[in-house]
Structure 1
């Protein structure tokens, strides 16, 4: 029985989706399951990216292009980039380890931004293997030579064609990390999978009766046998509203250290945040709240850590701090590879996402014994903060600022919240998450055995 985790793309600098899927692949491998990460988009550097993310599970990655023996993916090791007179990229020529041309990617300008227009991928004998046509960087048509026949397909139809082939080779359980509606439809249409499981993140179902359109269609079609959610509340809501067969399993586990720095030994009056600088995180609200809190207590400071996914937004945040004359107490500190250790330098953290897939940084803060002050949004914060922090009304910057001031003034509350947070985080350690997956796997494999009987 092979367990296939499907993901549209997998790359550097992504959100928690890549992290979570990588962890699931590793967890299934630890359970001695035949597990594979399955990706679909064309990227000559995919193996390099996957080796960086998960070197211990590299052999368990199957890319659709690689499956069809497209040399530009399987063997592409050198890219020669050609530019026009304005230094705009017009062609990437991809060569394999034998320095043979195995792919060409053609570019054009869309609203002054460089985007792919087409790609031709070659066999080693020079014959054409595949042609991809793009509109605004999205593949709209594929011409594939397979088994001596030319197949003209939409990208989603090619995904289904590929998955039907892959699942026909041996009994398969598919786990779709759903994102795009058209891709989800392709996953749901696969005929050979024994069981189909969809993972819906919390931000794909934003409060009662308000699921995003694509996932409403997913649930209405009932093409997936199980829906996995991050929290129990969401699982109950989906089961109640849609009659779906659901189970709640955290998208990622957290390691709780045996000991952390005592609050008394950390930076005084410090709010520490580890995030991705993206508009969905509403970092501007964090800054505005700390500026307000600082007016009540001049020792309050904000330490920001994280990667930049939106440079224009990051520049906007820098300007916001400068305009508020807050550069002396609000600081950007770059990315960190040790989130728990970083959280353990502060007295509290704040969480202001517009929506959230789960809120892994909440767990990391709790593991560090750092209380969490968060907007009250479905489903992550409400489900996993509990006594480890405070919830304030979504979008209420004044309430957030007041909560910061009160938390930093109340040492006893912080100590209790710190202890409660570490206890709460232990419920999401690797052992607990693995046990939940094992319970589901047992049910899924029993379904296959029943089919065989």
Structure 2
């Protein structure tokens, strides 16, 4: 079995988790059994798996040990009534009262019981029981500053299975100090979540001697590979650049510093990058011949062969598909669009992507302030996350990418797949392998806002050139067809002798 490992799957699904789902489809074509592993708890797991079409193909660390008997009903009223109707209490809606004070409060989410608070007579929350599809899944206990002291997870019989212990930390943030696990009649203690994850993986692969581990989220699993006691083929996927500045000789991200030693020790067998250029750079940087360039996504024939008339595109409509974070350098694009709008009033920019919560949304707040400062609110729009951008790609005239670095630049490929021309900074990694420069779009020097302006202005005043790029966009994207990407995975499996019969 091949296991693709990430932290969790969310309703607003990230590119990494989408890449994992697409990889499942490829492995199905190759007749190789595969599953996704998640290592963080996620209350929305059933809804997300249904949305992504991977029900029954996701293995979660907590579910592995808890083995809860999830209830399919979407209505937990009986359960709520049973919990609230306690001796000497009166019930008002979702609150149980004693002596005029709230002592139990139930909280619902989409009709299902989410958690129940138990309060003392001073009104402080003593404990909070969380529920998952009708099952009590874990409890948090609090001290007088409302910090978590312990969190204990239950099995299907209500027995304590895992306990997280916390102690007070700086700024009232609790620090995890100990994890206890009761498994196979033994009590195990771990000093960190990585140690628990290593134990989980050890148990998994001991039952499956043909297991292959593929880490998609390095920060949540790569250190666990180092702690594992069982050696199996394990690979690290670079979904983004492995250095802080995106340059091959730049400073490594801290989580990647042990990779060279792990390769030598057999804790890792190889590396997988989204582009050939990064695979070559990684091979040199980490001194390994087992470095592979395999695209993280593909486009189906339904996209690549779809006809999208150029006259359906809105003149002057520019788009950017990017998180609102500093690495995307959206300020470059906003300032450029403000200059373009003065000369080409039809120009309009729509930005699709999450607001990055890092540093209390400082990046997104700065970008919104910049739009106000440039008085560009009428033609620069923050559209948030949108799961399906088909209509956006098929009506835009140009997609623009101004990142400092990327791992693949998936949005560029998706745009070209829908016949949308693209203009991108020539950065590491992705754009140069996705764009046929001067044929399906344009590459401009990284960080060069003047050339970016000149390039976009040239396209805006030359619709025939823009149409030429649109006509060739799907041909450029065809390099990343399902058939071609499947072949790259097949080549990898054969070279690494990983084909499972």
Match in the other structure for 2:459:
407
SS of 2:241's equivalent?
helix
1:151 pairs, out of 171, 180, 188, with: 188
Indicate the structure (1 or 2) with the bigger Cα radius of gyration: 2
Pair 1:432-2:432 in alignment: no
Measured against aligned partners, the alpha-carbon deviations of 1:311-362 in whole angstroms (never above 9, x if no partner) come to 5644443332232122222234454343243122122111022332211100
Pair 1:391-2:436 in alignment: no
Structure 1 segment 222-261 matched on structure 2, within 5 A: 222=263, 223-244=267-288, 245-255=290-300, 256-261=303-308
Instruction: Go from structure 1 to structure 2 and tell me whether the alpha carbon gap of 1:139 and 1:431 turns closer, same or farther (over 3 Å shift).
Output: farther
Retained in 2: the 8 A contact 1:5–1:21? yes
Retained in 2: the 8 A contact 1:72–1:122? no
Using the TM superposition, give the Cα deviation of residue 176 of structure 1 relative to its aligned residue in structure 2, in angstroms: 1.1
Unaligned runs of 5+ residues in structure 2 are 77-111
Q: Quote the Cα distance in structure 1 between the aligned partners of 2:297 and 2:496.
A: 20
Instruction: Go from structure 1 to structure 2 and tell me whether the alpha carbon gap of 1:139 and 1:167 turns closer, same or farther (over 3 Å shift).
Output: farther
Q: Quote the Cα distance in structure 1 between the aligned partners of 2:214 and 2:443.
A: 33
Q: Quote the Cα distance in structure 2 between the aligned partners of 1:286 and 1:416.
A: 23
Retained in 1: the 8 A contact 2:218–2:236? no
1:167 pairs, out of 184, 199, 205, with: 205
**Larger helix share, 1 or 2:** 1
1:303 pairs, out of 346, 350, 362, with: 350
Instruction: Go from structure 1 to structure 2 and tell me whether the alpha carbon gap of 1:372 and 1:109 turns closer, same or farther (over 3 Å shift).
Output: farther
Q: Quote the Cα distance in structure 2 between the aligned partners of 1:238 and 1:4.
A: 22
SS of 2:63's equivalent?
helix
- TM-score, normalization by structure 2: 0.78
1:132 pairs, out of 164, 168, 176, with: 164
Measured against aligned partners, the alpha-carbon deviations of 1:164-195 in whole angstroms (never above 9, x if no partner) come to 11001122111111421x73121244343531
Instruction: Go from structure 1 to structure 2 and tell me whether the alpha carbon gap of 1:155 and 1:411 turns closer, same or farther (over 3 Å shift).
Output: same
Instruction: Go from structure 1 to structure 2 and tell me whether the alpha carbon gap of 1:370 and 1:29 turns closer, same or farther (over 3 Å shift).
Output: same
Aligned length: 441
- TM-score, normalization by structure 1: 0.86
Pair 1:94-2:130 in alignment: yes
Unaligned runs of 5+ residues in structure 1 are none
Retained in 2: the 8 A contact 1:66–1:73? no
Retained in 2: the 8 A contact 1:274–1:343? no
Using the TM superposition, give the Cα deviation of residue 129 of structure 1 relative to its aligned residue in structure 2, in angstroms: 1.3
SS of 1:27's equivalent?
helix
Pair 1:276-2:341 in alignment: no
2:314 pairs, out of 267, 283, 287, with: 267
Q: Quote the Cα distance in structure 1 between the aligned partners of 2:64 and 2:435.
A: 43
Q: Quote the Cα distance in structure 2 between the aligned partners of 1:183 and 1:320.
A: 38
